[in-house]
């Protein structure tokens, strides 16, 4: 699917203007909700990016603070889970409650921001707490069960260390961290992902599902481990694939929404004075 597809004059005549406005309203509302729930990460995480070059304060230069016209807002910078020009800390809006992140419902734009914040936080977590590779492996991002667990732990951490939380919230979070480590270690052991090799989490097929009864259903060795040497590069590749998949779904939804309802095209055009 062409990500750079533009709307032609013919396209604008083939769909209901009210429908387009509703689509735009939904997209803006989704983006506003995400940005209002932005993540405030610890200074430790910001310190991980030693090559960060911030624009000089007080210069008032639009070139330093803005994006060029040819810059893709979803472009993925490179780095240790973030680019030299990317700072993971953003101040949340105090009036809005912190909400759990449903990873299945992230838009492409939300995912391009969220995965980087989560990765920066996970890097801080494993370093500050000395968590071993059997708890958080390098390619945790390629395992859905690890993504969900770490995302939930991250959200709980943000809530526990919020200035408005109770004084006992941090110790409660540390109890949750201990429990989460047990689950993480169990899932890492199940998949077999490690320090220099990664193997997809095996999923047992049920009767009636495609492939049931084949060797791959019962033999975990049928899924061979894949060696890797650059964790940051693998993360970049995975995030790019994830965003591309979400973009494809969004494009499909937009296409389906713009498609005229059978039997309604004639009446719409008649009512608008079209022949």
161's tokens: 């260390």
- Which pLDDT score is estimated for 217? 65
| Cα–Cα distance for residue pair 91/162, rounded to 1 Å | 11
Task: Look at residue 28 in the predicted model and tell me its pLDDT.
Answer: 61
Which residues are CB-contacts of 212 (< 8 A; sequence separation ≥ 6)? 205, 206
Q: Compute the average pLDDT of residues 172-176.
A: 98
User: What are 116-172's pLDDT values in tens digits?
Assistant: 999 999 999 999 999 999 999 999 999 999 999 999 999 999 999 999 999 999 999
What is the chain's percent helix, strand, coil content, to nearest 5? 55, 0, 45
At residue 198, the 3 state secondary structure works out as: strand
Q: What pLDDT is stored for residue 31 in this prediction?
A: 54
Q: In which band, very low, low, confident or very high, does the pLDDT at 23 lie, cut at 50, 70 and 90?
A: very low
- The span from the CA of 33 to the CA of 31, in Å, is 5
Torsion of CA 163, 129, 201, 138, to 10 degrees: 110
- How many angstroms separate the CA atoms of 81 and 74, rounded? 15
Quote the tokens at residue 44. Answer: 């430790």
Residue 265 — pLDDT band, cuts 50, 70, 90? low
């Amino acid at each position: 699917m062409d990500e750079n597809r533009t709307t032609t004059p013919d396209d604008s005549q083939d769909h209901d203007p009210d429908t387009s406005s509703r689509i735009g309203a939904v997209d803006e509302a989704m983006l506003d909700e995400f940005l209002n729930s932005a993540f405030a990460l610890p200074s430790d995480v910001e310190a991980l990016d030693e090559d960060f070059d911030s624009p000089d304060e007080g210069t008032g230069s639009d070139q330093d603070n803005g994006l060029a016209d040819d810059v893709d807002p979803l472009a993925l910078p490179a780095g240790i889970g973030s680019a030299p020009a990317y700072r993971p800390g953003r101040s949340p809006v105090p009036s809005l409650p912190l909400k759990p992140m449903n990873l299945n419902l992230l838009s492409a734009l939300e995912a391009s921001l969220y995965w980087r914040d989560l990765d920066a936080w996970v890097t801080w977590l494993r370093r500050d707490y000395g968590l071993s590779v059997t708890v958080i492996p390098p390619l945790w991002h390629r395992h859905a069960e690890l993504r969900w667990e770490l995302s939930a732990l991250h959200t709980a951490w943000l809530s526990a260390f919020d200035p408005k939380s109770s004084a006992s919230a941090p110790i409660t979070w540390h109890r949750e961290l201990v429990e989460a480590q047990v689950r993480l270690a169990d899932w890492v052991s199940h998949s077999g992902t490690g320090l220099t090799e990664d193997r997809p989490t095996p999923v047992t097929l049920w009767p009636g599902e495609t492939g049931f009864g084949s060797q791959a259903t019962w033999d975990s060795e049928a899924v061979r481990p894949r060696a890797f040497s650059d964790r940051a590069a693998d993360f970049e590749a995975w995030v790019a694939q994830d965003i591309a998949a979400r973009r494809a779904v969004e494009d499909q939804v937009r296409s389906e929404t713009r498609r005229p309802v059978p039997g309604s095209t004639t009446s719409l055009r008649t009512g608008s004075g079209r022949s």
